[in-house]
């Protein structure tokens, strides 16, 4: 952020839902734009910049999470992070999860209202697909739920950017069933070890895996021990099942990767979340932190293709 970046006139951190309606009234009266921040990290920083005079409503104090194991649902404040949601699910049930993203420091407000993909999407869809109710303050200061806001608005806030339509206070989500043990692996291949061919092949086999198997590829530029620049591809997976079944699936569908038993680690679903962000898997407490230690800063972008990328372009 430079000196020329527009800055908010004020940052407000309400502690109760009823404190937000007066903020909306005041902003309307003074022709100020409202930017809503849910307390998580933000690649683009869009929750705290604007080209017109604005105020920020920071919802981090509205972060309570209530899990109902019997109903397989949870209500959570819009200021909660994914880590807080995952933590509260895990301490109550080893057989329930939520179909959200990798990073525990992501704020649920932006994640849910932007769609939200994660390791369970092949079986359970996006995070937004598993939102079943919400509470929102509209432009007139009314607090609405799914029934009173109507299905059109409820549809819009699950993917269309919730802050475009009001200040979302809380979300009700559907929890999903998972086995007590899942299997993870991460295999690295560089250009000298068939990375190009493997990524190309992965495009054809990954869409046809059974829905319990999530296998993504993360490509990055690296320097070899002798100083050469190369491209490395990390094949990272979470499988909703045991090692034996995973090995059988991979041998049938993607033998080119060369997965062996020593590559696989069985653990609980919540441990797989910790594993994928590089945390020790023996403690859940880091999931409650809003800030990751030693975090790196980078620009990330995901895209969708309708046809496999040719080998020359991989």
pTM of structure? 0.91
Residues 24-47 pLDDT 10s: 999 999 999 998 888 777 666 666
Q: Bridge-partner residues for 131, per DSSP?
A: 173
d(CA 262, CA 264): 5
d(CA 159, CA 129): 9
Q: Report the CATH number of the 11-58 domain.
A: 3.30.43.10
Where are the chain's structural domains? 11-58, 65-177, 182-267
- Residues in the chain, pLDDT under 70: 1-3, 42-47, 293-302, 313-314
- Predicted confidence at residue 302, as pLDDT, reads 67
- Predicted confidence at residue 43, as pLDDT, reads 64
d(CA 209, CA 223): 32
Domain 65-177 maps to which CATH number in 3.90.180.10, 3.10.20.90, 3.40.395.10, 3.30.465.10? 3.30.465.10
CB contact set of 129 (below 8 Å; sequence gap of 6+) = 99, 158
CB contact set of 169 (below 8 Å; sequence gap of 6+) = 17, 20, 59, 62, 77, 78, 134, 135, 136, 137, 143
Top-level CATH class of 182-267? alpha beta
- Predicted confidence at residue 156, as pLDDT, reads 93
Pick from 208, 134, 169: nearest CA to 24: 169
CB contact set of 23 (below 8 Å; sequence gap of 6+) = 12, 14, 34, 55, 57
């Amino acid at each position: 952020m430079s000196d020329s970046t527009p800055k908010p006139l004020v940052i407000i951190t309400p502690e109760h839902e009823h404190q937000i309606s007066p903020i909306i009234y005041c902003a309307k009266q003074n022709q100020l734009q409202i930017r809503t921040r849910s307390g998580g990290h933000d690649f683009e920083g869009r929750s705290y910049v604007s080209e017109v005079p604005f105020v920020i409503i920071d919802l981090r104090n509205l972060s309570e999470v209530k899990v109902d194991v019997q109903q397989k649902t949870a209500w959570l404040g819009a200021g909660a992070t994914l880590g807080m949601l995952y933590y509260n699910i895990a301490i109550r049930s080893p057989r329930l999860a939520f179909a959200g993203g990798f990073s525990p420091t992501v704020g649920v407000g932006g994640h849910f209202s932007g769609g939200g993909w994660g390791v369970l999407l092949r079986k359970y869809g996006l995070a937004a697909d598993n939102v079943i109710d919400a509470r929102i303050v509209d432009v007139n200061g009314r607090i609405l739920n799914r029934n009173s806001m109507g299905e059109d608005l409820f549809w819009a806030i699950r993917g269309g950017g919730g802050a475009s339509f009001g200040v979302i206070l809380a979300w009700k989500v559907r929890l999903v069933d998972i086995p007590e043990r899942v299997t993870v692996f991460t295999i690295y291949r560089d250009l000298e070890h068939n990375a190009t061919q493997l990524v190309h092949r992965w495009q054809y086999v990954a869409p046809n895996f059974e829905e319990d198997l999530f296998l993504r590829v993360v490509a990055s530029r690296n320097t070899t021990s002798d100083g050469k620049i190369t491209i490395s591809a990390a094949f990272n997976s979470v499988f909703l099942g045991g090692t034996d079944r995973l090995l059988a699936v991979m041998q049938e569908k993607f033998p080119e990767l060369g997965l062996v038993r020593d590559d696989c680690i069985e653990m609980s679903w919540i441990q797989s979340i910790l594993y994928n962000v590089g945390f020790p898997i023996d403690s859940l407490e880091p999931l409650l932190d809003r800030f990751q230690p030693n975090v790196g800063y980078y620009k990330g972008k995901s895209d969708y293709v309708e046809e496999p990328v040719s080998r020359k372009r991989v």
